Amino acid sequence: MKSEEKMMTAIAAFVVRFYKWIPFVALLLFILSIISASNIETKTEIKDLMSEKDPLIASYIEVDSVFAGGATVMITIEGNDKARMGQCAEDFVASVRANDRLMREIKAINLKVDRQFMDDWGLMLAKAKDLEKTQETFSELNLLPFITSLNNSFEETYTGDEAEEELETNKQEKDAVATLAQLESFFTLMREYLENPEAVPFEEQGRTLAETFMYGEPYQFNHDNTMLLLTITPTFNTVEIEKIVAFMKEVKTIITKTNNRYPDLKISYTGDVPIQSDEQDALGFDMAVPSIVALMLILVLFIFSFNQLRSIIFILAVLILGIVFNYGFIGITIKEINMLTSIMAVLLIGLGVDYGIQIVTNFTTYREDGCEPQEALRLTYLKAGMGTLLAALTTAIAFFVMSATGVKAFEQFGIVMGTGIINCFLAMFFILPSILLWWGKKDLGKTHLPNINYQFLANLGKTTYKHRTTTIIVGSIITIGLFAAMFLNRMEYDMMKLEPENMPSITQYKKVMEKFEMTPFASTVIANSIEEAREFTEQLEKTPLVADINSVSYFFPPADEQQARLAAIAKIRNMPPRYRTMNYTTEDMETFTYEVQRTEWNIIEMGDLSVAGLGENNKIVKKRNAMIHEVFGAEVGKPGREVFQKLIMLIQSNPAKYAERLSKLDHYFAREMDAIVTRMSRANRPMTINDLPESVRKSMFDATGKRNLVMIYPDEGVLDNIDNIRHFNNSVARVSPRITGATQIMTAWLAEVISASGKAGIFVFAAVIFFLILNFRDIKYVVFASVPLVLGMIWMAGIYPLLGQKMNFVNIAVVPLVIGMGIDFGIHIAHRFKVEQNIETVYRYTGKGVFLSAFTTMIGFGSLGLIGRFGSVNSMGRILFIGILMCLLTTLIILPSLLTFDKKNKPL
Amino acid sequence: MHFSAKLLGISLISLLTFSLFADEDALSIIRKVDEMGKTNTSIAKMSMLTFPYSEDNSNYREMKVLAYGQGEDNSYMEFITPKSIQGLRILSLEGDQWVYFPSTGRVRKIAAKSKNQSVQGVGGDFSYEDLGGGSMEENYTFKITNSDDKSWTLEGIPKKESSYSKVLITVLKDNYQTPKIEFYTAEDGHKKDLIVEEYKTISGRLMPTRMTMLNLIKQSKTVVIMHEAEYDIPIDDKYFNPMRFYK
């Protein structure tokens, strides 16, 4: 007796002896696996696929651990009434502050400008040279001289012959837009007060108008004031999943309750934390629902293919056991599931079910031949056991060799899938036979279920044999065409498209990007001191494609600049009286309207000047057009809010009446302005870290107060293509190689995955060829078995772009799997043909197995591709589905022609 | 946005046009280069394409201008596109600059900038110094650093204050064209390359009609395309009068 027969006989004897024990052991293992699987964390980011030793990942993890990765919850309030939106935001924040559970997890809430801080240090944030100009503006705080001085200052800054500010960089663009927003609020409010003087007391009008100018817009609105944005900085980082999920549950409850009180507004959420929370739901869905759907579909397919309902249910039940065992294994080893390994269950369903089919088919056949169950089982092991074992080992080894690529994602994937195959095989090899012995059908009479006839496969074999020359020519043409189409493949670089579709946080993220023209993926770096932060910031401001920088260095200029600012503030502090009583005349109102007109002209010209440096669609032009009207040289386009013309027309409608109202408003305005300037000019020492608003201090400095976070936001167009992403990454890397973030990780991963996929493909292919040579010992059959795979891969790569699909960072990693799975079809057909030398026989018997094997795998991938919520996960399903389908087609259509090409036409 | 005191087209031409007379001495070579670039007046329609990232040819801003030049220092430019600033006019007169805004009907005198600042938007990667007045001979001391069968390489060291530490000019021996000028700074080393990509004969002269300034530090580039040009023709003085240029 051969050694393999001895081994199989021993296994059969073991199962026959312990078949009533094995299911209990399996049940125990199942329970232990469930417990172990509860340790598994789900990781949804690209960085989770990379090694923590990678310097970029190490920096990322450091930022995440020290500064919670700059993670935020963004709350947006949409509407058309600014005042009501502000009120709603205050109400929402009050509810959050009243929630002790939430507040324990919150580091800072950024709702509006901190007025106390502005009173104490507002002037210290202005450059010394600007403070010099401000002295003149503050010298007469009555409205007319104040606006006149404001215009003078505006022209000195932007449009005059002494202008120092150019409008070329994103920082300059941002500052200019803030100035425009401030002016819009100021002049709009002024018109409202002049129009409706009784709405609020004059004292309050004067105070509010002065505060609006001095503190600016308190809330963060987009350029057309239809969205208010506030942020919450949590204490936890983006890997603390349980906290994230619990936190967001509370936040969502408050959002719902607040929104019920403001039905005319829409409150939504987005940001890293909500996205993580929503992703957990989506990944959980992707790990479970497509697998369940695939199992159900396979069940239906088998019922109508095999007519053995009970056995099929046994197969699927044991398959679930095998998969759960593997989750148990992951729970005690790797302890995490990432974007790649999340498709494990679907893959194992497609691959693992084959082993069960072999066992059941053989066992049932022997039973039908009159064998007793024990004997049927022994024969099953003897005849089909070793083949099944070798098939499982081949597949497992193909996966294990992926681990040798040295890339974390592939190592994990290879191990998870390799052990998954072994677990499924062992379950099918020991548990399934035990169940068949114990609970298998005693009466093997036929059922009344209709049966699918797979004769069409034999007919297909016959047809391709008959027209083998035509088939080869047509196949070659298709292959050449699809080979050319292969070069149409494009990468998807928009990471948002890899996120789950219709996820509330993603939908709102896109809206925030559109409304605020900001790119969500900030790069970050930890500066070891304020000086280093300043050095980084100064260089980054000049760096191309950097849209915005968030840095503490803006609060702490160099010591000499701080002293210069203090000296300028001292001059403001020591100014003589800054206002007088003014009774406006109708002539004054003419001058006043001229100054308002002058402000409009200045803003229009500022927009014109910005076009050269920042392009036609810059934010200054958008803001200008929204607050005034569209400007095309001497032509006027779409109307805007006409902030200035409405005020001018109002005053011109009755200059005497509005002169009187302006006089009253001016009295309180000038007095309040003076009070604010007095408060702001008290600063008489350099600012320290402790003077910063708590929200800034806690989110930007570490516990030591030295290390601080610099956040770099790329231009909104950066993510459009890989060249821009690389340009941005290279540019910021020149400032510091420690700068890390989503764009850096994305390109690093891309480089890694392309190289590793190629390597994995070669390894898997080499392993497969090695086994083919061992198996066939005939190079001709090795080639025959490989051709469908090679053609299938070409067809897959060509058809994919023709279907409008793009490759992405995740699905490119699973392409090597097609090699491991697609080769099987060729092997089975070539092997059987070597034995039978008759193509119809081959397709009648082996064709069905190959078809079902491919079809079950395709059902798994298809359900993933159609139902998977993650863009990245369903794209993996799609490419694998197409890959397997193409390998199946080339096996069923092209291979018969190749196998029989040198044969003369003779009866089959 | 601030604009050069020098008409863009004229300045570039003076950088890039050359004598057909050969000589092996650096000074005489550069004199011939300067000589060819001299024009009394010019009218040109040109486009300036600024590419934030030189390798991404799909992302750029384009401006089309009608430019009048007088001598080495005076220029008048009127924007044809983009639409939002159509009709905006800039007069540069011996270092002073005026802008006429059709959107407000106002004329404003604007600030002059330092030499190394980029003429962003209009000039893109061309700095004020690149477009500034004065001949090559006036601005640099040249020596021949390399000579082969086809070309000379001239190294120019600034004679006066300059944002560059040196320039390297390739001059072809057969026709004295300069396909490339390299700009170096003390801070960044090799900073920019000016590459002439196309020449056409205009008004009987061989003129550069397409050239690219590649900023190796910023990884950006600016392409200037000359669509139409006329040289040494009479131009109404009003274009160079701050009181009348906008009328």
Provide the 10 A C-beta neighbour count for residue B128. Answer: 22
Structural contact between residues A355 and A386, judged by C-beta atoms closer than 8 angstroms: no
**Model pLDDT, residue A446:** 57
Q: Which residue has the higher pLDDT, A23 or A448?
A: A23
The domain that contains A828 carries what CATH number? 1.20.1640.10
Q: Do B111 and A721 touch (CB under 8 A)?
A: no
Specify whether A601 is located in the same domain as A484: no
Compare CB distances from B120 to A164, A601, A612 and report the shortest one's residue: A612
Compare CB distances from B87 to A155, A168, A634 and report the shortest one's residue: A634
Specify whether A794 is located in the same domain as A899: yes
| Distance between CA atoms of residues A833 and A843, nearest Å | 9
Q: Kindly report the nearest CA distance between residue B206 and chain A, in angstroms.
A: 30
pLDDT at position A908 over 50:
no
**Model pLDDT, residue B182:** 93
**Model pLDDT, residue A567:** 93
Closest CA to A234 of A62, A68, A43: A68
Specify whether A313 is located in the same domain as A440: yes
**Chain A residues within an 8 Å CB radius of B191:** none
Q: Summarize the confidence of residues A647-658 as an average pLDDT.
A: 95
**Chain B residues within an 8 Å CB radius of A545:** 52-53
- Percent pLDDT > 90 in chain B is 14
Q: Summarize the confidence of residues B201-217 as an average pLDDT.
A: 85
Specify whether A872 is located in the same domain as A803: yes
Those residues with Cβ within 8 angstroms of residue A284's Cβ, 6 or more apart along the chain or in another chain: A42
Closest CA to B16 of B92, B126, B117: B126
Q: Do B53 and A723 touch (CB under 8 A)?
A: yes
Which residue in chain B has the smallest CA separation from A630? Answer: B84
**Chain B residues within an 8 Å CB radius of A541:** none
pLDDT tens track for A743-795: 888 788 777 777 888 888 888 888 888 877 877 778 888 888 889 999 999 99
Q: Do A159 and B108 touch (CB under 8 A)?
A: yes
Specify whether A660 is located in the same domain as A587: yes
Crossing angle of helices A742-776/A815-836, nearest 10°?
10
| Distance between CA atoms of residues A739 and A756, nearest Å | 24
Please name the residue ranges forming H helices in chain B: 8-16, 26-37, 128-131, 136-139
Local structure of A709: helix, strand or coil: strand
Specify whether A358 is located in the same domain as A465: no
Model confidence band, residue A166 (pLDDT cutoffs 50, 70, 90): low
Inter-chain Cβ pairs, chain A and chain B, closer than 8 A? 111
CA B103-B108-B111 angle, to 5 degrees, is 125
pLDDT tens track for A691-725: 988 878 888 888 888 899 998 988 766 766 677 78
Specify whether A429 is located in the same domain as A463: no
pLDDT tens track for A357-404: 878 877 887 887 788 889 989 988 887 787 778 778 878 887 888 887
Chain B residues with CB within 8 Å of chain A CB: 1-2, 52-53, 55-56, 58-59, 61, 63, 79, 82-88, 99, 101-106, 108-111, 113, 117-118, 120-122, 218-220
- Cis geometry, peptide bond prior to residue A655 (ω within 30 degrees of 0): no
Distance of CA A649 to the CA centre of its chain: 50
Specify whether A269 is located in the same domain as A323: no
Q: Do B108 and A605 touch (CB under 8 A)?
A: yes
pLDDT tens track for B105-117: 888 877 655 444 4
**Chain B residues within an 8 Å CB radius of A167:** 1
Q: Do B110 and A159 touch (CB under 8 A)?
A: yes
Structural contact between residues B54 and B220, judged by C-beta atoms closer than 8 angstroms: yes
Specify whether A816 is located in the same domain as A888: yes
B8-240 fold: outer membrane lipoprotein receptor (LolB), chain A (2.50.20)
Specify whether A109 is located in the same domain as A127: no
Q: Do A612 and B85 touch (CB under 8 A)?
A: yes
Q: Do B120 and A161 touch (CB under 8 A)?
A: no
Q: Which residue has the higher pLDDT, A779 or B134?
A: A779
Range of the domain at A400: 1-67+286-451
Structural contact between residues B120 and A168, judged by C-beta atoms closer than 8 angstroms: yes
Those residues with Cβ within 8 angstroms of residue B51's Cβ, 6 or more apart along the chain or in another chain: B57, B59, B60, B220, B221, B222, B223
Q: Do A616 and B84 touch (CB under 8 A)?
A: yes
Q: 3-state secondary structure string, A830-886? A: HHHHHHHCCHHHHHHHHHHHHHHHHHHHHHHHHHHHHHCCCHHHHHHHHHHHHHHHH
Q: Do A633 and B63 touch (CB under 8 A)?
A: no
Q: Summarize the confidence of residues B212-235 as an average pLDDT.
A: 87
Q: Summarize the confidence of residues B31-35 as an average pLDDT.
A: 80
Which token pair is A586?
């109708």
Q: Report DSSP state, residue B232.
A: S
Q: Summarize the confidence of residues B46-72 as an average pLDDT.
A: 84
Which residue in chain A has the smallest CA separation from B111? Answer: A161
User: Counting Cβ atoms within 10 Å, is residue A450 exposed (0-12), middle (13-18) or buried (19+)?
Assistant: exposed
Q: Kindly report the nearest CA distance between residue B91 and chain A, in angstroms.
A: 13
Which residue in chain A has the smallest CA separation from B56? Answer: A723
Chain position carrying tokens 């663009």: A173
| Distance between CA atoms of residues B49 and B226, nearest Å | 11
**Chain B residues within an 8 Å CB radius of A720:** 59
**Model pLDDT, residue A34:** 92
Q: Summarize the confidence of residues B160-189 as an average pLDDT.
A: 86
Model confidence band, residue A809 (pLDDT cutoffs 50, 70, 90): confident
**Chain A residues within an 8 Å CB radius of B91:** none
CA distances from A244 to A235, A237, B136, B162 (A): 10, 8, 66, 57
**Model pLDDT, residue A394:** 76
Specify whether A62 is located in the same domain as A91: no
In a domain, residue A420? The reply is: yes
Provide the residue count of chain A.
Answer: 908
| Distance between CA atoms of residues A896 and A13, nearest Å | 41
Number of domains chain A contains: 4
Q: Kindly report the nearest CA distance between residue A515 and chain B, in angstroms.
A: 22
Structural contact between residues A262 and A849, judged by C-beta atoms closer than 8 angstroms: no
Q: Which residue has the higher pLDDT, A584 or A199?
A: A584
**Chain B residues within an 8 Å CB radius of A714:** none
**Chain A residues within an 8 Å CB radius of B88:** 608, 633
Q: Kindly report the nearest CA distance between residue A637 and chain B, in angstroms.
A: 10
Select the residue from A157, A164, A716, A723 to test the B interface by mutation, using most B Cβ atoms within 10 A. A723
Please name the residue ranges forming H helices in A655-741: 655-680, 694-700, 722-735
Q: Report DSSP state, residue A157.
A: I
**Model pLDDT, residue B1:** 38
Q: Kindly report the nearest CA distance between residue B201 and chain A, in angstroms.
A: 30
Specify whether A246 is located in the same domain as A101: yes
Q: Do A731 and B219 touch (CB under 8 A)?
A: yes
| Distance between CA atoms of residues A373 and A437, nearest Å | 6
pLDDT tens track for A574-628: 888 888 899 999 999 999 999 999 999 999 999 988 887 788 888 899 999 999 9
User: What ipTM does the predicted assembly reach?
Assistant: 0.81
